[in-house]
Copies of this chain bind each other. A is one copy, B any other.
Amino acid sequence: MDIQNIHKRLRDFAEARNWQQFHSPKNLTMALAAEAAELLEIFQWLTEEQSKNITDSEKYMALIKQEIADVFIYLARLADTLGIDIEREVLAKIELNEKKYPEELSKNSATKYNRR
């Protein structure tokens, strides 16, 4: 994935419309959460089984693709605005998770999910 190209395209897009004024980190987190919620809305009344079979529906898949793109776009804008290297942070987080949830202790267990 050419993330530098995506950052540039999004930056140019915002600049050409003078929309950087709207893209404060605060506002971008709102837009990101709002787009993530569009995905929630698609799946909210489906069973888990139906959610797995959604790949059979062209109509839903077209919608999901757009929403995934929207979430990515605001996440990329946020990272770019703050000078954060997404790939580096993702790899660091994966390594952290590998230590935090040792295979044998975490196997099959929802313990992770009871962290509170």
Contacts and interface: CB of A to CB of B under 8 A. Distances in A.
Interface residues of A, number: 80
Interface in A43-99: 43-49, 51-52, 54-55, 61, 63-66, 68-73, 75-76, 78-79, 82-84, 86-87, 89-94, 96-98
A46 B84 CA distance: 20
Determine chain A's interface SS by DSSP, over half rule: helix
Which of A16, A38, A68 lies at the interface centre, i.e. has the most chain B CB atoms within 10 A of its CB?
Answer: A68
A68 B87 contact: no
Given A30-B43, A113-B45, A18 B107 contact: yes
A17 B45 CA distance: 14
A91 to B, nearest CB: 7
